A and B are shown apart, each in its own frame.
Chain A
Amino acid sequence: MTTHGRVRPVVRAPHPVLSRPAPEVDPTDPEVVQLAADLLATMRASPGCVGLAAPQLGVPGQLFVVDVTGHPKATTVHGVITLCNARIVTATRWRPGREGCMSVPDLTGDVKRAGRVVVEGVAPGTGEPVSLATEAFEARALQHEIDHCAGLLFLDRVAGAHAIHPRKVYL
């Protein structure tokens, strides 16, 4: 892919685009291909960011990127994953974990996610179907991004009234 991605501002809650289910996208639409490149560029430019979904750039659409390469909690690693119209086909081995989000920068939450998932979607550009099985941190990241495409934040999944925590500032 030769599309040059631009780093774009990430929108934050309570922006309404983050709370609305996003429509499916046409994976062969050049604007979708450009948006995928922008998501990747913006993720790359954001330290500690392992995934970003189109609504976080203010665009309602089922498109996201994930890359957990080098993350200490990652076991299975597929490198850069870019998917349109993705859905979870199977989800097993539910586990609690702490997660945060660039669109909710000051908070983290305890969220139970499937430790093993099969996800299906289509690749931007070609529109080819993609199916991938993964586990642990990569599975968590995919579920978080698919939630963004459905208008859900990790706040909508937290495990209890005291499962939200202020994010510590690390220097």
Chain B
Amino acid sequence: MRELAITVIGRDRPGIVADVAAALSGLGANLTDSTMTRLRGHFAMTLICTSPAAPAEVEAALASLADNGLLAMVRPVQPDDITAPTGEPYLLTVHGADRLGIVAAVTRVLADAGGNITDLSTRLSGDLYLLVAEVDLAPEAVDAVTARLAEVGTALGVGVTLRPNEADLL
């Protein structure tokens, strides 16, 4: 058994997830972590699986689904321990007019403070560009990061909000 990282991107259609899952299970590959979404109408799936089949074999099986140009990439990866959180969870929202470099500028501020982004989505809705990120940050870095984000936000003409992301224990 080996661990494989797989990305599949293509035109969305009903049944595409079922077809990808069937191709993998047909080779004995077991889905562990996966995420699937639609990005401006394109089907996009990223996953890790444990597989007895070699990467090239899996890639060929996925390529056979390419009824309308499915792009599949399969790479072996080393099994990794789950990375321990490096701080407390925070949520970042950025919204403003679409402009080149917003994501790069904002995520650089987080990276410079040792922040680790654990989930991120961006969306263009009409003229509105929107980013929401979940980030682990050292609490003692938050004041400086907030100030720096405000500067970057002003320079880019976007609104920036950083706030604690408390988990609800039920």
Contact B119 A164 (CB under 8 A): no
Taking CB atoms, residues of chain B closer than 8 Å to A13 are 95, 128
Counting CB contacts under 8 A, is A152 at the interface?
Answer: yes
- Interface-forming stretch among A39-47, A60-68, A70-78, A154-162? A154-162
Chain A residues close to B by CB (< 8 Å)? 12-14, 16, 18-19, 104, 106-107, 151-153, 155-164, 166
Tell me, in angstroms, the Cα distance from A19 to B119 when the chains sit together.
24
Counting CB contacts under 8 A, is B161 at the interface?
Answer: yes
Contact B121 A14 (CB under 8 A): no
Give the interface size bracket for B toward A: 20 to 34
Residue of A nearest to B135 (CB): A161
Contact A164 B97 (CB under 8 A): no
Q: Which of B127-170 contact A (CB under 8 A)?
A: 127-130, 132-134, 157-159, 161, 163, 165
Q: CB within 8 A of A153: which of B95, B126, B133?
A: B95
Contact A162 B129 (CB under 8 A): no
Taking CB atoms, residues of chain A closer than 8 Å to B91 are 158-161
Taking A14-B128, A18-B159 as given, write out 17 further A-B residue pairs in contact, using a Cβ cutoff of 8 Å, ordered by the A residue number: A12-B126, A14-B95, A19-B158, A104-B125, A106-B125, A106-B126, A151-B159, A152-B161, A153-B159, A156-B93, A156-B95, A158-B132, A160-B91, A161-B91, A161-B119, A162-B119, A163-B132
Q: CB within 8 A of A14: which of B119, B120, B129?
A: B129
Contact B97 A14 (CB under 8 A): yes
Q: CB within 8 A of A158: which of B93, B119, B159?
A: B93
Contact A161 B134 (CB under 8 A): yes
Counting CB contacts under 8 A, is B96 at the interface?
Answer: yes
Interface 1/0s, chain B 9-36, versus A by CB < 8 A? 0000000000000000000000000000
Contact A19 B165 (CB under 8 A): no
Contact B95 A161 (CB under 8 A): no
Counting CB contacts under 8 A, is B75 at the interface?
Answer: no
Tell me, in angstroms, the Cα distance from A155 to B132 when the chains sit together.
8
Taking CB atoms, residues of chain B closer than 8 Å to A14 are 95-97, 127-129, 158
Q: CB within 8 A of B134: which of A18, A152, A160, A166?
A: A160
Counting CB contacts under 8 A, is B123 at the interface?
Answer: yes
What is the minimal beta-carbon distance from B144 to any residue of chain A, in angstroms? Answer: 20
Contact B121 A162 (CB under 8 A): yes
12 pairs from A and B in contact (CB 8 Å cutoff): A12-B126, A12-B127, A14-B128, A104-B125, A106-B126, A158-B91, A158-B132, A160-B91, A160-B132, A161-B120, A162-B121, A164-B132
Q: CB within 8 A of A160: which of B119, B125, B161?
A: B119
